Amino acid sequence: AAAMQTFFVDNNKLQSAKTHLKTLKPENIQCYLTQGASNLMFFHNFNLLLGLPHGTWLLKLGGNNLSIIETRTFIGLWSLRVLVIRSFSSLYLQAFFSLSFLEKLDLSWNQITTLPVDFSSSLSALKELRMEHNNLNYISGFSLEHLDNMEKLDLSYNQLVSVGPGVFRGLSRLRQLFLHNNRLTVVEQGSLDMLPGLEVLQLSNNNISQIDSEALAPLYSLAILNLEGNNLHHLKFKTFISLHTTATHIQLSGNPWSCDCELHRVFSKILHVRYLHIDDYRNVTCKDPPQLVGASLAWVDSQLCVAETATVLVISVTVLVTVVAAVVMAERNRKKSRGKNWDADSQSPPS
């Protein structure tokens, strides 16, 4: 009989996945077999699964009562290409040992708070990692370093407050990075280094208030940058001009912009850069000053520098008048001084 290729253990009461999956205790097991599977054995009324065929390429464990994935749980499953696990909270060291050919790992909708430092050590072939909807609050610089072939990484809907320099240093082939709906406050310089092929960067719905000037500079291939729904009040033109790409589309709406002359200048400069495109410019609205709350920056931008221009003009005129007055007074004083000297000379007796 041909080896089993796909195996689903969904919506059961599985509590722990141990070495060789020997303690799986599902009430209802869904299996898809190709021509049957002679080495898949059940005992005690189909309540104990002793092992999985080595030819299994897809394994789905979801809707159970899993709490932990223990060391070397999947040892021997060399053919596994897709692994989906739901509803667990902890990963032991070497949890994915022997899965060196795995291409897609879906760990979304769990309660994971941290990743082991050796998380990626056996996952060098992985192309897609989904970890959205977890409770991740920290990622070590070592946890992802062996994911050389990773193309898509989804860390959205977690509790990440920061992503420090070097966290993504091993992901040289990464093309899509999803970090939206976290709690990020700063895009640090160095946090996106060594991602030359990154095309999509999703940072929307965080709490980002600052982007370091050189933070985006290493992203030579960036095509989409989403910064919607953050806490940005101002921008630095240098932050975006440091992007050396063919074309980058940027989304910036949903931020509490402080609309002033400086912000107008920055947006105006960005809009005149050939390869930078602000897709939602007409949806960028002001939060400050109070008289402009809710107004579109595109509608008021030409008026933002009027007051400043008028102020500069008044100051310039004032300075000019002051200088002219000073010159006139100096000239008058000089003439008076010469007149006094002339009178004194004319009244003195001849020698």
Sequence-separated (6 or more) residues with CB below 8 Å from residue 290? none
Lowest mean pLDDT among 168-182, 245-259, 325-339: 325-339
Q: Average pLDDT, whole number, for the chain?
A: 81
Residue 303 pLDDT grade (very low, low, confident, very high; cuts 50, 70, 90): low
What Rg value do the Cα atoms of the chain yield, rounded? 33
Res. 31: pLDDT tops 80? no
Q: What is the pLDDT of residue 345?
A: 55
Q: How far is Cα 196 from Cα 178, in angstroms, rounded to an integer?
A: 16
Q: What is the pLDDT of residue 332?
A: 72
Q: Average pLDDT of 310-323?
A: 59
> Taking Cα atoms as reference points, which of 228, 330, 240 lies closest to residue 277?
240
Q: How many CA atoms lie within 13 A of 24 on its CB side?
A: 30
Q: How far is Cα 234 from Cα 208, in angstroms, rounded to an integer?
A: 11
Q: How far is Cα 282 from Cα 303, in angstroms, rounded to an integer?
A: 16
Res. 7: pLDDT tops 60? no
> Taking Cα atoms as reference points, which of 168, 169, 170 lies closest to residue 148?
170
Pair 61, 38: CB distance under 8 Å: no
Q: How far is Cα 138 from Cα 116, in angstroms, rounded to an integer?
A: 11
Q: How far is Cα 104 from Cα 125, in angstroms, rounded to an integer?
A: 9
Res. 239: pLDDT tops 70? yes
Give the residue extent of every domain in the chain: 1-102
Most confident of 10-24, 203-217, 286-300: 203-217
Lowest mean pLDDT among 54-58, 169-173, 185-189: 54-58
Q: What is the pLDDT of residue 53?
A: 72
Pair 255, 230: CB distance under 8 Å: yes
Residue 310 pLDDT grade (very low, low, confident, very high; cuts 50, 70, 90): very low
Residue 160 pLDDT grade (very low, low, confident, very high; cuts 50, 70, 90): very high
Whole-angstrom CA distances from 53 to 41, 56, 79, 229, 231 are: 10, 6, 9, 47, 51
Q: What is the pLDDT of residue 44?
A: 26
Q: Average pLDDT of 259-277?
A: 94
Q: How far is Cα 321 from Cα 317, in angstroms, rounded to an integer?
A: 6
CA 268 from chain center: how many Å? 25
Q: How far is Cα 146 from Cα 129, in angstroms, rounded to an integer?
A: 13
